[in-house]
Structure formats: C-alpha cells, structure tokens
A and B are shown apart, each in its own frame.
Chain A
Amino acid sequence: MSQPGLVAVAVAYLLLLFAIAWVVEHSSGRVSRLTGSSFVYTLSLAVYCSSWTFNGGVGKASQTGLDFLPIYLGPTLAFCLGPVLIRRILRISHANRITSIADLIGARFGKRASLSALVTVIAVIGLVPYIALQLKSISSGLVALSADPETGATTGPVLADGALWAAIVLTVFAMLFGSRSIRPGEHHPGMVVAVAAESILKLLSLTAIGLFVVYGLFDGFGDLFGKAAKIPEINSVFDTSSPRYGYSWISMTLLAGLAVFCLPRQFQVMVVENVDERHLNRALWLFPLYLLAINLFVLPIAIAGRMMLPADTDPDNLVLALPFATGHPWLALVAFLGGLSAAASMVVVETTALSLMICNDVVMPALLRVKRLGLAEKSDLTRLLLWIRRAAMVAIMVLGYLYMRHDSAQFALVSIGLMSFVAVAQFAPAIVGGIYWRGATWAGAFAGISCGFAIWCYTMLLPSFARSGTFGMSFIADGPFGIALLKPYALLGLGGLDPVTHGTFWSLLVNTGAFVTVSLVGRQRPMERARAALFVGAVDSGEAAQIWRRTALVPDLMSLTARFIGREKAAAAYASFARTRGVDPATAVQADAETVLFYERLLAGVIGAASARVLVGSIVEEEPLGVDEMMRILDETSRLIEANRQLEEKSQALEAATAELKAANASLQVLDRLKDDFVVTVNHELRTPLASIRAFSEILRDHPDLPDRERLDFLRIVVTESERLTRLINQLLDLSKIEATGSIPAERARVDLAAVARDSADAMRQVFARSGMTLAIEIATGPAFVLGDHDRLVQVVINLLGNAAKFSPPGRGRALLTLARTGDYLELSVADNGPGIRAEDREVVFERFRQLGDTMNDKPQGAGLGLAISQRIVAQHGGLIWVESGPEGGAAFKVRLKAAPRSKGKAAGRHQPASAD
C-alpha cells in the first residue's frame, strides 16, 4: 500500500472522529448527552491505552512474556482505591474548578504560581518522550505498512519522514479538538466522545487481530499454546525454575497505579472532563474490565509473532506485521488504524492537557504579572488564551518530534513510556499527601517534587541521552568523572535493579522524604493552613469562602470574567449562582466572599487557579485573616495563637469592663444629682407647710386680741397645713418603701382588678360628692385577676381618682373609671373632663413633685408624689401607666397590667373562674 494512500486513510479516519466531536458539541439532542453517560466516561479513561499498549505491549510480551501486565494491573488496583482516592480528588477538583494536575497541586499548597509552574515544566519534560513514542509508533507503522513485502524498501520519497507528517497532522487535530474555543470548566465533550470512539476502535482492532491470530493462523488457544510450549525459549518464559518477578514487577505496578491519576491526560479525562461524580462508580470496575479485555490477546499475538515472523522484525510492529506478512493487508490496515487511534487520542488529550497547564500555570500568570502589558485591563482575552494554547501545543509537538529524531532508535516503546511514568509519579506524594495530610506544606511539596524530578533527570533522562551518544556511555558505566557511587543506574552503589526500578525507587524515596521532612520542619503560612483545612477536611465551599473575607463589586467581577469566557456565559453563570443563593442578580452590587470565590472558580475553570487568583486579586479587597477565622481553621498546633487570642479577649473584656464602669459612674452621678434634687425638693415641700404652721402659731400667740373669726380661720390653716405635712411624710415613706423593694411587689397574690376598681370608687365617692362631681364606673369584665398586691393597686386607683377630682371643675366635673380586657392584658382607665394635660407634659407628670401650673385651685392638694408613686407601683407589677387625652377633652390615665394565668390549685377555690377568655 502506498504511503499517500495510507496517509489519506489516516486523515480521513481522523476527520471522521473530528466530525463526531463537532456533532456532539453542536447538536442538542441525544448525541450531545453522550458525555452524560458513564460508559462514555469509562471509554474516555481508556485513553490510558496509547499506542504503547497497542504496539509496545505486544512487543514487550514477545520478549519477556507477561512483564507488560503490571502496566494494567496497577490501574486496576488504583481503581480499587477509587472510592477513597479518586473520588476525593474529583470532589476537591470540582469544588475548586481545578483544570489540571498542576492546578490541583498549586491550589492545595496556596495557589502560588511557582509550584504549579514547576509541575507543568516537569510534566512537559516528562511527557515529551511519551509523545515522541506515539510519533515513532505511527511512523514505524507507516513504514511497515508501506514497505514492499518483497524488497522491504519504502516507497514515496515525499513521505520519507512519516513521523513529521504524523506530528503535523496530530498537532492540527489537537488544536481542533482541544483549543477551538474557551469553555468554562474546560470541558471538551466533543473530544471526550471522540476519544471514547477511538477506545472502542482500539479494542475492536486488537481483538480482531487476536481472533485472527488465534483462530485464523492457529487452531484456537490450545493449538497456539501447544505449539509455543514446544519452543524452548518461549517455554522458559513460563516455567517455575527461578523466581522471575521481583522488585521490577512491584515498581511497575506502583508506577502504573500512580500514573493513572498523575498523567495529565488521565487527569484531564478522569477529573476535568468528568460531568457527574457517579460515573466513577461504574468506571471503578468497567475501566479495569476494558484493560483486561484489551490485554487478553496480547500474549497470544506476541507468541504467534515470535513463532511466525523472522527474528529481526521490530517487536513493536508485531501487530501490524503479523497480518501483513501473512497476506492480509486490510487487516493490517485495521491494526494500523487501531494503533493510530491509540496514538491520536493520547496525543490530542495529552497536548490539550499540557497546553492548558502551560497556558494557565506558566504563561498567563507570568503575563498577568507583567504590568506593562496591561493584560488585566484588556477587554477580550479569549483569543489570546487560545493562541497561547495553540502555541503551546505546537511547542510540545516540536519537542516530541525532536526527541524522537534524537533518541527514538535507542529504546523500545515500553522503556520510553515508563520513563514518563516515573516523571509524573513525582506528583503523587504531593497529591496524596496534600489531600490527606493537613501538615503538608508548600515548601515540602516544592522540595519533594523538585528533588524527585532532579533524581529522575539524573537516573533516567541523562542516561537516555548518554545512551544515544550525547556524552558517551562511560557516564553510565563508570559514573560522572569516574565516581562509581554516582553511576546513574546504580546510585550509591545500589545495583541489581533495572534502570526503571532503580530510578523509581530513588526518585520517589527522595521525593517523599523531602516532602515529609520539609513539611515537618517548616511552618505553614495562614493561607496555606486554610487551604490545607479546605482540602483535607473537605470543608464545603461556602465555608471556604468565609476564610478570606474578600469583597468586591459584582460589575467589576462580571466584566473581568466576561473577558475570558464571554459576556453571555458569564452572565448566565452568575444568574444561576445568584438564584441558588436567593439573590437578585440584577440588583446585587456588593459581592461577598462567596460570590468572589464563585467568580474566581469560574475564572479558574478557564485560565486555571493560579491565573484566576492573580486576576481576581487585582480587583478584590482582601482582608487579612481575622483571629476568629483563624481559630476556626487552625488545629491543635495553634496553641500559641489560642493563648494570644485569650489575652486579646481578656484585654477586650477589661476594656469593656472599664467602659461599663464609666457608664455606671456617669449614671450614678446622674442619680446622685437627681437625689440632690429630690432632697432639695423634699426640703422645700416640708418647710413650706411648716413655715405656715409656725407663722400662724406665732401670730396666734403674739396677738391675743384677734377677732374670733380670724383666729378660727388661722387655726384652720394650721390644722390643714399639719395634715398636708402628715400626708407628705406618709407619701415619702411610701415612696421610699416602694423604691427600696425595687421591682418586687410586697405581695404576689391573685388580685381581682374589678374588685379593686369598685372598692376604690366606693372610697372616693364621698370626695366626688362633696365637690359636686360625678363618678361613673364601667367594668367590662368578670373577675379580672392580676398577680400583685391588693393594697398597692387600690392606692393607684385612688391616686388616679383623686387626681381626677382635683383637676375637674367643681360642680360639673365628671370622671369615668373603666376596666376592660384586651388580649392578655387588663386595661384600667380614669378619664376626667378637666383641662387635660399638654402632650409635652405627659411624660413629666409622673416625676416626683411635678405639679403642673394650671391647676383649678390655687393650691394643689397633693404633694406631687401621687403619680410618681402610682407609676412605681404599676412598674412593680410589670405594667404600664400613661396619660392621654380623655374622651371629653380632659386627661385619661391608663394602666395596663398583664392578666394572671388561669387560676389553678387553691387559689381557684376563692374566686369565680374568669369568664371573659
């Protein structure tokens, strides 16, 4: 088959996939809901099986038997831990709108850009060989298929460099799938469905080859294995003579288990593209089942290839070569498309994920920090973002191509892939520690990852260059400068391990060691501690928002967000957010911490957490952590802060106490002055009648010659003034008694207010009759019980009636005493038709010795204590007394008291039960 023909088929196939993606993203029917299926999710996870699985696995199996299996057993075991580990990563990532593994690590350790940038750099360096591997696989597939079966020579000089063409085509497709538009949350449903379709094709293709081999070339498994058992070198692979599997097996299982969530493309499909956490439940077993299925025929194909093909065939091309060499070019084409699917999906997803990381965690934060560019003020950055991503994709592919050109001949596919696995496994300690260990610090993560990466470079990357001849094999054989302890494949003299196991052991050991040690030795900054609590404690997002107390204006946030995801999307997202919180999106202007966090996450979904933080930080008022917030976050390690807080509380309490004392002092001074006033007034009120008594007594003594009429007159005055004096003294005693008992009435018995009113009216009827005034009473209730002191309440009513008598015009004065029930209260009212009380005086009439000037008599009868005493008595009963305009223009004094609860026990026997309520 000609190369141009092959390339045309390949491109047509990729276009078909792209059409699938396009339909998914542009239709609204059942197709677009495909991503909502757990099967599509599971199949997209199978991007794990790259061309390395497809071609490299068979190649490895043909050399060493079942050694390829740990690569799939590892993920199976990792998925058994899914409910513990992967689900947690999912939740944290969804809650924080994490868009990549660099984002996750950066977000956990305080969103400082440098850490996520480091992760990104490592991921790119670590994965370039892996991408090179895919190019190599495609190009060698092209070469194998287009080779003349007779001569073995390739045809078509234009396409001599198949890898270059593969790189160019895949770059274009990666751009088409991964960076066509900016979407919130970085969901690429089209890409996911296309990857799922490719996964189906991979599986079908390999299964078809397998069936062809087992049942076409052989007579079933029994025949195949039976013939294989007769070949000594194959038989030896399966005998029990020596323990074949050791550290290498374990380390590969471990590596693969870590890679299944640390590889950027796996993180992309498993976490970022996940639309429903429940899909994980199905993937927990369905994904391992896919792995099992795709590996079922690997060993039979490998054995068959070993038996049927010449020994010099590239083992990595067995899958193609077997049908091709046995005269089934169409089946070989199916195999080629299967391999192409595996390579294409891997490259597309990987470059998409890597370009996201490069853009969001390295380029954008850097650009945003460069004030001169003024990016934070630019109105539309979506195009810039897209071009950064596309440029990143191109750069990654160029690197991959260069690596392949440089190194590709040296290694089998599996070895290159494992190198990448070890590189990304360096993220695992930080991730696992980050989500389970509160004490993990930024510095620890940084130290761990960078040390692990350094070891990786030294034990794996450098030797791979050395083996390709860059600086000689002596570097590997003797160590740099002949120092044996530094031999990259036997560091510190640790020999006997294969390079991958050796590199894995040292890099993860140093990584974890540095991570733990630096975390233990160092201290967490408050922000880090808050983040740790958020990740480890899985605090819900609302609570998390409170940690920062950031405020901003909604319009600012909106315009910022609109620049990255477009105004309509931003508005729609905010509207639905506002709805869930019961806020009117049209009127809310001040964004609270939770709203700010919402916007930051919305932005993070597009440009990554690190960039989003920088951007939002530019327009947000960020307050430092308050003591209270700190306390909520901090744990047992913060005893010092606790003590400090207590001190602060105590000093605050002291201040409060001082303020209270000052206030008390001020009110005491007021009381003191009031008391002075009172004493002065009492003094005056006592001296005045005394003065009259003394004056007239002396007059009577000194003037015996007075006429009888005048003498009687004077004597009457003396008697009256004496009475006044007595009354005054009695009232003063009353008042002091009431004030001394405070708010506790002398007695608390059930008192019938209706009886009190009637008794008081009877007592005062004489007084009214004497002045020719009338007293009417209306009692609208049956027995109306209150809790209190009978005599005191009588005193109040008599005081009020006396007041009415005093201020009503003699001869035509009318007073009305009423008692009524309103709800739980009893209201007693005494109204007169006197001059009334001006509104401004209605408060002061209850003050002691307050006598209003406009009395009907020249000389008020009382001492001015009656209302004051009444008010205190009513207050003691928990009631209210006030004055308003009476119905006939006079004053109406009202008393409101709470009705006693229904009688029970012995009190019930004494009275009729109240009928009103």
Chain B
Amino acid sequence: MMLRRTARRDRMVGLFAAGAVLLNPPILNLVGGWLFGWPALYLYFFVVWGALIAAAALVAEGRGGQVDERDRDGPRP
C-alpha cells in the first residue's frame, strides 16, 4: 500500500520534471515556424500541456476509489 502511494507521488514528480524540461527553454526554442498553417509553438504548447494534464489525471485518478482509500488512512504523506 505504501509502495503504491509512493509510486503515485513519484510519478507526479516525474511529470513535473518532464513538464519543466519540455515547457521551458532551451527545448522551447527548438520549436518554431508554422505547421499545417498553425503556429508550431501554439500547437506544441497545447499538445504537450494537454498530454501532461492527461497523464496527471491518469496518475491522480488511477484506480480511483482505491487511491482515495489510501489517502484517507493517515496524516503522513
């Protein structure tokens, strides 16, 4: 049980790291110009951002009730 919760926390931290790298320079500066008539950066941001949120949703809500149960059981993170 502890392992699962720790795993979830670690996954969120992993998402943070991935997001921090992908949504900041210098990676950011690799993207530019136009793609399919759209600003590539605009597409890039909303795709990466959306993917990040989707992943976070999967991690946070994953195995729903079970996760909630685990959250309930103690004051220690």
Direct contact between the two chains A and B in their complex (CB within 8 A): yes
B-contacting residues of A (Cβ < 8 Å)? Answer: 65-66, 69, 73, 76-77, 79-84, 87-88, 91, 95, 221-222, 225-226, 229, 237-241, 243-246, 249-250, 253, 277-278, 281-282, 284-286, 288-289, 292, 296, 299, 538, 540
Which residues of B are found within 8 Å of A80, using beta-carbon distances? 12-13, 15-16, 19, 52, 56
- A221 and B38: CB pair below 8 A? yes
Q: A240-B33, A250-B24, A538-B75 are in contact. Are A296 and B46 (CB under 8 A)?
A: yes
Q: Is the CB of A87 within 8 A of B16?
A: no
Residues in B lying within 8 Å of A, measured CB to CB: 8-9, 12-13, 15-16, 19-20, 23-26, 28-34, 36-42, 45-46, 49-50, 52-54, 56-57, 60-61, 67-68, 71-72, 75-77
Q: Which 7 pairs across A and B sit closest by C-beta, in order of nearness? A: A240-B32, A80-B16, A285-B57, A243-B29, A285-B56, A238-B39, A245-B25
**A800→B49 CA distance, assembly (Å):** 99
Residues A284 and B68 in contact, CB atoms below 8 Å apart: no
List, in ascending order, chain A residues with CB within 8 A of B71's CB.
Answer: 277-278, 281
Partner of A288, one of B32, B56, B67: B56
Q: Which residue of A lies closest to B74 (CB)?
A: A540
Residues of B within 8 A of A79 (CB): 56
Tell which of B36, B49, B67, B77 touches A91, judged by Cβ atoms closer than 8 Å.
B77
Residue of A91, A221, A225, A246 most packed against chain B (CB within 10 A):
A225
Whether B12 contacts A76 by the Cβ 8 Å rule is no
Q: B29 to chain A: which residues have CB within 8 Å? A: 240, 243-245
* C-alpha spacing A545/B11, complex, angstroms: 35
Select one of B15, B25, B56, B67 contacting A246, CB under 8 A.
Answer: B25
A594 vs B76: C-alpha distance when bound (angstroms): 19
Distance between B37 CB and nearest chain A CB, rounded to angstroms: 5
For the complex, what is the distance from the CA of A282 to the CA of B37, rounded to whole Å? 35
Task: Report the bound CA distance from A165 to B71 in whole Å.
Answer: 47
- Judge whether A282 and B61 touch: CB under 8 Å: yes
Instruction: Identify which of B34, B57, B67 contacts A229 (C-beta below 8 A).
Output: B34
Which residues of the other chain, A, contact B75 by a CB distance below 8 angstroms? 91, 95, 538, 540
* Contact in complex: B53, A76 (CB < 8 Å): yes
Q: In the complex the two chains form, is B77's CB within 8 Å of A253's CB?
A: no
Name the distance in Å between B69's Cβ and chain A's nearest Cβ: 10
- Which B residues touch A299, using CB under 8 A? 39, 42
Which of chain A's residues have a CB closer than 8 A to the CB of B53? Answer: 76, 285, 288-289, 292
Distance between Cα atoms of A239 and B32 in the complex (Å): 5
Q: Is B37's CB under 8 angstroms from A76's CB? A: no
For A66, give the chain B residue with the smallest CB separation. B41
**Are A229 and B37 closer than 8 Å at their CB atoms?**
yes
List, in ascending order, chain B residues with CB within 8 A of A81's CB.
12-13, 16
Contact call B56/A88, Cβ cutoff below 8 A: no
Contact B67 A245 (CB under 8 A): no
The residues of A that contact B38 with a CB separation of less than 8 Å are 221-222, 225
Given A225-B39, A292-B53, A296-B46, do A284 and B12 touch, yes or no (CB 8 Å)? Answer: yes
Task: List 26 A-B pairs, Cβ < 8 Å.
Answer: A65-B41, A80-B19, A80-B52, A83-B8, A83-B12, A84-B12, A221-B38, A225-B37, A225-B38, A226-B37, A238-B40, A238-B41, A239-B33, A240-B31, A243-B26, A246-B25, A253-B23, A253-B24, A277-B71, A281-B60, A281-B71, A282-B60, A285-B57, A286-B57, A288-B53, A538-B75
Q: Which residue of A lies closest to B6 (CB)?
A: A83
Complex contacts, A286 vs chain B, CB 8 Å: 57
Docked-complex contact A278 and B23, CB < 8 angstroms: no
**B52–A76 touching, CB < 8 Å:** yes
Q: Which residues of B sit under 8 angstroms from A277, Cβ to Cβ?
A: 71
Q: Are A83 and B9 in contact (CB under 8 A)?
A: yes
Q: Which residue of A lies closest to B25 (CB)?
A: A245
Which of B19, B41, B61, B68 contacts A285 (CB under 8 A)? B61
Contact B39 A84 (CB under 8 A): no
Closest to B26 in A: A243
- A196 shortest CB reach to chain B, Å: 19
Given contacts A79-B56, A95-B75, contact A222 B37 (CB under 8 A): yes
A281 pairs with B61, CB closer than 8 A:
yes
Choice from A82, A221, A246, A278 contacting B12 with Cβ under 8 Å: A82
**Does the CB pair A284–B56 fall under 8 Å?**
yes
Complex contacts, A77 vs chain B, CB 8 Å: 16, 19-20, 23
Chain A residues lying within 8 Å of B23, measured Cβ to Cβ, are 73, 77, 253
- The listed residue (B30, B37, B46, B67) touching A281 by CB distance below 8 A is B67
Min CB distance, B55 to chain A, in Å? 8
Q: How far is the CA of A65 from the CA of B20 in the complex (A)?
A: 20
- The interface residues of chain B lying within 8 Å CB-to-CB of A84 are 9, 12-13, 77
In this complex, the member of A222, A226, A250, A285 whose beta carbon has the largest number of chain B beta carbons within 10 angstroms is A285
Contact A69 B45 (CB under 8 A): yes
**Docked CA distance A1–B9 (Å):** 53
Q: A240: which B residues are within 8 A, CB to CB?
A: 29-33
- Expressed in whole angstroms, the Cα–Cα distance for A776 and B75 within the complex equals 74
B12 to chain A, nearest CB (A): 5
Question: What is the CA–CA distance of A69 and B24 in the complex, to the nearest angstrom?
Answer: 11
Once bound together, how far apart are the Cα atoms of A292 and B56, in whole Å? 14
In the complex, what residue of chain B is closest to A238 when comparing beta carbons?
B39
A579–B72 CA distance with the chains assembled, in angstroms: 21
A281 touching B25, Cβ below 8 Å: no
- Complex: how many Å from CA A285 to CA B64? 14
Nearest CB in chain B: distance from A285 CB, A? 4
| Cα separation A525 to B75 with both chains bound (whole Å) | 26
Decide if A250 touches B25 in the complex (CB within 8 Å).
Answer: yes
Contact B68 A278 (CB under 8 A): yes
A570 CB, min distance to chain B CBs, angstroms = 25
Closest to B27 in A: A245
A229 CA / B32 CA spacing, docked (Å): 13
Shortest Cβ distance from A314 into chain B, in angstroms?
24
Residues of A within 8 A of B41 (CB): 65-66, 238
Complex CA gap A250/B21 in Å reads: 10
Q: How far is A101 from B20 in the complex, measured between Cα atoms in Å?
A: 26
Contact among B28, B37, B77 for A83, CB-based, below 8 A:
B77
Nearest residue (CB) in B for A245 is B25
Evaluate contact between B50 and A292: CB separation under 8 angstroms: yes
For the complex with contacts A221-B38, A277-B71, 4 further pairs of A-B residues with Cβ separation under 8 Å are A65-B39, A73-B49, A285-B53, A288-B53
Q: Which residues of B contact A278 (CB under 8 A)?
A: 68, 71-72
Q: How far is the CB of B51 from chain A (nearest CB, A)?
A: 11
Q: How far is the CA of A221 from the CA of B34 in the complex (A)?
A: 13
A76 vs B20: C-alpha distance when bound (angstroms): 10
Asked if A245 and B16 sit within 8 Å, CB to CB, the answer is no
CA–CA, A77 and B46, complex, Å: 14
Report how far A65 CA is from B39 CA in the complex, Å: 10
A239 to B31, CA, bound (A): 9
Nearest Cβ distance between residue B74 and chain A, in whole angstroms? 9
Task: Name the one of B19, B33, B57 contacting A76, with C-beta atoms under 8 angstroms.
Answer: B19
B residues within 8 A CB of A292? 46, 49-50, 53
CA distance in complex: A243, B27 (Å): 10
Given the complex of chains A and B, what is the CA–CA distance between A277 and B73 in angstroms?
A: 11
